[in-house]
Amino acid sequence: MSELRVVLLGSTWKQRSAVGNLLLENDAFDLNTNCKSSLKIGGPLQEKKISVINTPDLLQADLTADRLAEFLKEIADNSAPGPHVFLLVLQPEDFTEQHQSRLQSVLESFSEQAYNHSLVLISTPRAETPGFMEKYMNDPNIKDIIRKCRYNYLWMNNTDNDANLKAFKREELLTRICQMLENSEEHLNYEQYEEAPSQQVYTEQTAVAKQKTLLSLPQRK
C-alpha cells in the first residue's frame, strides 16, 4: 500500500477538520471555513502517502436526496479507487437517531462492506461530567453504530493543543487504523461506482433513486 486514503464523516466541519489536521500534522484544513464540497488533502506518512478526504455536512436535516447523491459521487471520486477507512467523528451529546440513520444510509450507499472499514471517533463532550464515558457508551444510537462497525471505536479529545499530546493521539489513531488493516490492506470498493463510463448516467440516476428511498424510510424506534 503506497497511499492510505481516509474519509472523514459525521459531526461538524470543525471537528472533522481537527482530526484531518491531526493526521496530516499541519493546519491544512481551515477549522473556521465550512466547506460546501468534498476536499482532499495529502501529505507524507512514513514511507508512504496519506490522503485525507473531508466531507460536507451530510447529517444536516434539510439535505435533499439529489444533493446527497452528488456529495456521495464527489466523495467517491476524491477517494478513488476506494478508501481504506472511514473515520466517523461523533459529538456524543449531539448524535441523534436521525443522525445515526443518515450516517448508516451514507455508508450503505457506498458499499455493504463499509462498516468493516469504519472507525468511530467519539469526541470528548463539551461539558465533561463524572461517568460521562459510561453515559454515552450506553446511548442506544452510539451503541448501535459502534456495534455495526465491529466495535472499532476510540475516544478522542480534540481540544488539547499540547504538541506532545497531539503526537500521542496521532500515533494512537494511526495504530488503531493499522490494526483494522492488518488482516488486509485492500481498500473498500465502491460497488455502485464501478460500472464502465458508458453506464455513468445510469449509475448516477440509480444513486439518486437509492438515496430518495433511504431518506423516505421511517425512523426506527
% residues pLDDT > 70 (the chain): 81
Q: Which residue has the higher pLDDT, 164 or 137?
A: 137
Which of 87 and 197 is assigned the larger pLDDT?
A: 87
Does the structure show a pLDDT above 90 at 141?
Answer: yes
- Does residue 115 have a pLDDT over 60? yes
Domain locations in the chain as residue ranges? 3-216
The pLDDT, as a whole number, for residue 21 is 95
What's the confidence (pLDDT) of residue 159?
65
Residue type, 12: T
Q: What is the pLDDT of residues 22-51, one digit of tens each?
A: 999 999 999 988 888 999 999 999 889 999
* pTM, full prediction: 0.84
Among candidate residues 87, 79, 83, the one with its CA nearest the CA of residue 158: 87
**pLDDT score, position 191:** 65
**Quick one: fold of 3-216?**
Rossmann fold (3.40.50)
Kindly write down the DSSP assignment for every residue of 37-73, as one continuous string.
S-EEEEEEETTEEEEEEE---TT-TT--HHHHHHHHH
Residue 54's nearest CA partner among 75, 81, 72, 68 is 75
pLDDT tens profile 149-202: 999 999 987 666 778 788 889 999 999 999 998 866 688 887 655 543 333 333
